[in-house]
A and B are shown apart, each in its own frame.
Chain A
């Protein structure tokens, strides 16, 4: 490694570390400013002061805030993420349990969102101000502006309750819960590993609706951004030149205009995926999906700071990793950045 590269690497590592520490401090402060009392959550409304004080001492809630923070960071430095108040389990075990459910949901959602959103965005740009463009913009505007909680509930009423096309809440129907061993936590993978196609079908059936609705909200964003990027490119002189030189319309769009927006698209799709991983709480609530979004929110509501801090740390790492990944992809798609 040359000196320049070493310096760049050190600088980047330092930035990442500073970001994560800043994130932890901010989360801790917000968590402690929130009017929630983890001790009261444990002892209940009827407990007397003696019980309250005893539990406060046990979980360290009676310590000054700075001591609580440094205790957490110290444990973290020793690889101990702490125990969750809500589940009584090591936080890391909880996260390993809830994360696959969310990854499954977010991955399907982003496949749906990007798979449809990018072509629709290109179509809207190419047919700018024509009826199809207006129709696409209208549909994406709805996806962008409708509360996902409401969309989820309407989706359940129409596709589950009325049309009987998809499963209801949860990841599986009652018949199939516990039938396949939890090897990876990803139900689709576990059911395939167990060779149980019925469970696989049921899992997909339960995944379709929440993933589509979640994907719809990201589709709206991706479509609008794609349209905007494409319009920018289509207005460039090199496109006119290519067309004048006799290049077909399709070839101009896909080989020139689209090729030039891939870098930007990678960034927005990566960020949209990161948002889906940590921000699917509403859809997880409506669909009783035992995922990461619900876990972090429910723990925040009772002041379970071990769990909240570890989750925030993880979200930070996910976003940093996605940024690094998109940086790497930049270099592949755009030779100028190499």
Chain B
């Protein structure tokens, strides 16, 4: 067998040398982004769900307006160069910029804008919920969205709300994305308004067009030669499906990808001292929280809920489990959003929690279950909370499972405690947080208001519902801010069913030669501003 080894060893070595990679870095005019694309099921803006698809489509579709990446209170013009709100707050009039065209060459007209919104409401898919919340529907879409002329769009609000939240909603990728009506309708199939075609085709006016989407493989974006704005520095963006954080890290270190969107905290930490890599963290959306079910007798007692508030190690969780992905926040409105109060400053206080439990009739604690998704960081969060609960005698059995299992139990209102993530936040408006976390217009089981986490926790408080509704229609900005502050104070006092302990932030790693990357807290990070300085 010696001759065998004599042949095989050089053959193996020779083959690796012969086929060695020719290039050690990405092409200068092509940006390579790595992240997990497991959640991308379609590229139709009306039907998308989740952050990853927004990260792709924000580079393909324009909206009337854009949510500013740095100043969350600011809304920037995009296809609309200006907008005015009627004095009675009943309508918004947008003036479109002239000269904007879709990738097909068709001009962007008010007819396209109006059709895009009507399509969203008529299809009634995932993204329609953003506008349905404010009274828009397929039935009133024809009256709500009109185009008096080629450059003007008028949106009549079906119910009284803060027009600012509608303007902000139109800045979100999905509900606000403007489509090329002619191109899409040319691909209509059995009246689907182009849904099947848009699954893996695009019809936008953004800086890039969709070159190719291979599910769980890659998305290729090509520069849109018809783009009305400043020409992007990159000719092509290659988004690669890299499900594993460590693969992203290795490829980023080697320079085979320029940006890694979905690395774990451990890998981000390992890159902290790499001089070729930078890490950027920005505000994200939503919260990490501990939720109780008000269906459970124990948690119907405010003293028990208050005790739980003091059995969370806020600082410890944020320092040890959530670096890069969470920032300490114990209020239901993210820091930096108008009306947000400073943190209440809750701390782990076992003695106080024990006293509260004793007052509630549980001097020796009780047994309960704690559900968490079997994934990072939820398992670590659940384990840490289990330990602090135990200090007050609460024996929490952790139940883990997939997202469907854990949030499914929450949607069915069949759980006791749950560590979760959510609570609005893509919109920089406190209403979106309150509506997601505590608002519950109908607490009946049959109502099945599963999109409201307030309903999922079976928490119902008429007063806070009214406060949220009133604040949204308050025309005086200063008064509105005061109203939102008052809601946060009331929320804290009434011992809610959801106690946030961290606000979600995003962190990405990128090569040091990448300039102009600005993470957008609303997930719509624009890559047209990115260039390479080599």
Contact = CB atoms under 8 A, between A and B. Distances in A.
A47 B404 contact: no
B451 A37 contact: no
Range of interface residues on chain B?
35 or more
B404 A35 contact: yes
A288 B125 contact: no
A246 interface: no
B192 to A, nearest CB: 10
Contacts of B242: 169, 288
15 contacts: A46-B129, A51-B124, A51-B125, A51-B126, A87-B199, A88-B199, A166-B19, A166-B20, A169-B251, A169-B256, A174-B27, A202-B22, A286-B247, A288-B243, A301-B38
Given A42-B41, A85-B41, A89-B200, 14 more contacts: A47-B126, A89-B199, A97-B214, A161-B253, A165-B16, A169-B240, A173-B22, A173-B23, A178-B212, A202-B22, A204-B15, A286-B244, A298-B216, A302-B41
A52 to B, nearest CB: 8
| Most central of A41, A169, A178, A298 by chain B CB within 10 Å | A169
Interface in A15-54: 35-37, 40-52, 54
Interface string B243-264: 1101100110110110000000
Interface in A55-114: 55, 85-89, 94, 97
Nearest to A209: B16
A173 B448 contact: no
A288 B241 contact: yes
Contacts of A167: 21
Contact of B129 (A51, A55, A294): A51
A35 B126 contact: no
A49 B244 contact: no
Contacts of B1: 119, 123
Interface of B: 1, 4, 8, 15-24, 26-27, 30, 32, 38, 41-42, 47, 49-50, 124-126, 128-129, 132, 196, 199-200, 211-212, 214-218, 220, 238, 240-244, 246-247, 250-251, 253-254, 256-257, 401-402, 404-405, 407-408, 422, 436, 448-451
A119 B243 contact: no
B41 A40 contact: no
A285 B243 contact: yes
B215 A86 contact: yes
B244 A285 contact: yes
| Most central of A40, A45, A295 by chain B CB within 10 Å | A45
A23 B126 CA distance: 34
A290 interface: yes
A116 interface: yes
A44 B53 CA distance: 12
A177 interface: yes
A143 B200 CA distance: 41
B124 A36 contact: no
A255 B47 CA distance: 65
Contact of A36 (B49, B404, B448): B404
Contact of A88 (B8, B200, B214): B200
B19 A170 contact: no
Contacts of B247: 156, 168-169, 286-288
A43 B129 CA distance: 10
A232 interface: no
A290 B241 contact: yes
A252 B432 CA distance: 81
B373 to A, nearest CB: 12
Given A45-B49, A174-B30, A35 B8 contact: no
A168 B250 contact: yes
A113 B37 CA distance: 32
B448 A49 contact: yes
A167 B240 CA distance: 15
Nearest to A286: B244
Contacts of A298: 38, 216
A319 interface: no
A83 B454 CA distance: 36
Contacts of B243: 285, 288
B20 A164 contact: yes
Nearest to A149: B244
A330 interface: no
Nearest to A122: B1
A242 interface: no
B132 A45 contact: no
Contacts of B20: 164-166, 205
A268 interface: no
Contacts of A301: 38, 402
A205 B450 contact: no
Nearest to A169: B247
A178 B222 CA distance: 12
B218 A177 contact: yes
Contacts of A55: 125
Given A94-B215, A168-B256, A175-B22, A49 B450 contact: yes
Given A97-B214, A116-B8, A173-B256, A157 B18 contact: no
| Most central of B15, B23, B402, B451 by chain A CB within 10 Å | B451
Nearest to B32: A174
Contact of B16 (A86, A88, A208): A208
A204 B20 CA distance: 9
Contacts of A40: 404, 408
Nearest to B126: A44
A13 to B, nearest CB: 35
A209 to B, nearest CB: 9
Contacts of B212: 178
A180 to B, nearest CB: 14
Interface string A267-308: 000000000000000000111101000110010011000000
Contacts of B450: 48-49, 52
Contacts of A290: 214, 216-217, 241
Contact of B254 (A46, A47, A161, A198): A161
A325 interface: no
